[in-house]
C-alpha cells in the first residue's frame, strides 16, 4: 500500500464514506504525512518522559504510596508493686475526628471513610447525634493498624478528617492504689516550665500527683514512628522498622 491508500482506508472507516479524492491533492497528502510523523514523535517522547526523564519522581511517588508511616505514641512506663503486680499500665488509642465547623461540608468524606476505608463491621456515625457543645467530634476510635494504613492512603480524599493518637492510663485494680500512683492530666504552661528539657505537645498528658508526678521523667516515654509496607488496598504486608 502507498500512503494515499492507507489514508483512504482510515478516513473511509472513520467517516463512513469515500474520502479518497481528498488525497489526490499533494498538499493534503503531505499534511497527513506530517501529522503521522508528529504523532509518532509525540508518542516516543511520552514513553521517554515516563521511563527515563520522570522515572525517579514516579518511583518516589510509588514508594510513598507503598510505605506508610504510623505514629508510635510514647508508651508511659508501668508502675508495679515489689512482687511484680502491675498497678498502672497503658492503652494506646488511634481515633479519627473532625472540627465541628467542617462537619456540614464533610458528608461525602465521612461516607467514603465508612464504606471504602474502615472495616465493614463498623457502624457509620450518625452526624445528628453528635454533641452540640464540642468543637471536635469523634468519628471513629480504636483504629487498627490496617485501618490506619488505609486511611493514610486515601487521606487526600478526606482532608477534613484528622488522625489522632492518644494514651489512656489503665488501673487494673481500679482505685485501690490510686492514692499512691496519682493520676495524669493535660500538660499546662507551668508543667512545660518545670519540665523544660522535655518536649510536650499541647495535647500531651503529664503526671499531676503521686508517683506519676514524682517519676514523670522516667515514666513519660518517647514518641517514635513505625514504617510498614502495604499493598494498593492498604492491607499490611510487613513492618519495615
The CA distance from 72 to 74, in Å, is 6
Looking at residue 211, its pLDDT comes to 92
Residues across the chain: 241
Q: Cell numbers at residue 144, please?
A: 487498627
Looking at residue 1, its pLDDT comes to 45
The CA distance from 231 to 229, in Å, is 7
Q: Cell numbers at residue 167, please?
A: 494514651
The CA distance from 115 to 120, in Å, is 7
Percent of residues in the chain assigned helix, strand, coil, to nearest 5: 45, 20, 30
Provide φ and ψ at 38, rounded to 5°: -65, -45
The CA distance from 165 to 76, in Å, is 14
Looking at residue 161, its pLDDT comes to 92
**H or E stretch at 178:** helix 178-181
Looking at the DSSP bridge assignments, the partners of residue 94 are: 165
Looking at residue 194, its pLDDT comes to 85
Q: Can you list the residues of the chain whose pLDDT is less than 70?
A: 1-33, 49-50, 52-65, 71-73, 119-121, 123-133, 202-203, 231-236, 241
Looking at residue 26, its pLDDT comes to 60
pTM beyond 0.85: the answer is: no
- Which residue do the cell numbers 522516667 mark? 218
Dihedral (CA of 127, 133, 134, 138) sign:
negative
Long-range contacts of 147-150 (CB under 8 A, 24+ apart): 147/94, 147/117, 147/118, 147/119, 148/68, 148/70, 148/94, 149/68, 149/70, 149/228, 149/230, 149/234, 149/235, 149/236, 150/117, 150/118, 150/230, 150/233, 150/234
Looking at residue 206, its pLDDT comes to 85
Amino acid at each position: 500500500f502507498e500512503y494515499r491508500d492507507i489514508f483512504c482506508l482510515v478516513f473511509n472507516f472513520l467517516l463512513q464514506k469515500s474520502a479518497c479524492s481528498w488525497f489526490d491533492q499533494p498538499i493534503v497528502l503531505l499534511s497527513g504525512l506530517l501529522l503521522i510523523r508528529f504523532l509518532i514523535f509525540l508518542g516516543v517522547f511520552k514513553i521517554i518522559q515516563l521511563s527515563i526523564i520522570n522515572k525517579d519522581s514516579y518511583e518516589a511517588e510509588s514508594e510513598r504510596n507503598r510505605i506508610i508511616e504510623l505514629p508510635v505514641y510514647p508508651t508511659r512506663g508501668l508502675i508495679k508493686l515489689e512482687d511484680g503486680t502491675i498497678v498502672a499500665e497503658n492503652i494506646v488509642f488511634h481515633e479519627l475526628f473532625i472540627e465541628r465547623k467542617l462537619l456540614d461540608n464533610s458528608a461525602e468524606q465521612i461516607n467514603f471513610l465508612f464504606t471504602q476505608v474502615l472495616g465493614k463491621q463498623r457502624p457509620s456515625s450518625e452526624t445528628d447525634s453528635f454533641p452540640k457543645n464540642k468543637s471536635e467530634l469523634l468519628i471513629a476510635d480504636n483504629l487498627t493498624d490496617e485501618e490506619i494504613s488505609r486511611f493514610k492512603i486515601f487521606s487526600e480524599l478526606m482532608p477534613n478528617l484528622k488522625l489522632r493518637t492518644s494514651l489512656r492510663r489503665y488501673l487494673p485494680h481500679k482505685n485501690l492504689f490510686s492514692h499512691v500512683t496519682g493520676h495524669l492530666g493535660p500538660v499546662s504552661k507551668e508543667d512545660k516550665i518545670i519540665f523544660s528539657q522535655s518536649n510536650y505537645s499541647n495535647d500531651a498528658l503529664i503526671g499531676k500527683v503521686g508517683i506519676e508526678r514524682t517519676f514523670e521523667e522516667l515514666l513519660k516515654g518517647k514518641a517514635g514512628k513505625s514504617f510498614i509496607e502495604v499493598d494498593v488496598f492498604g492491607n499490611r504486608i510487613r513492618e519495615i522498622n
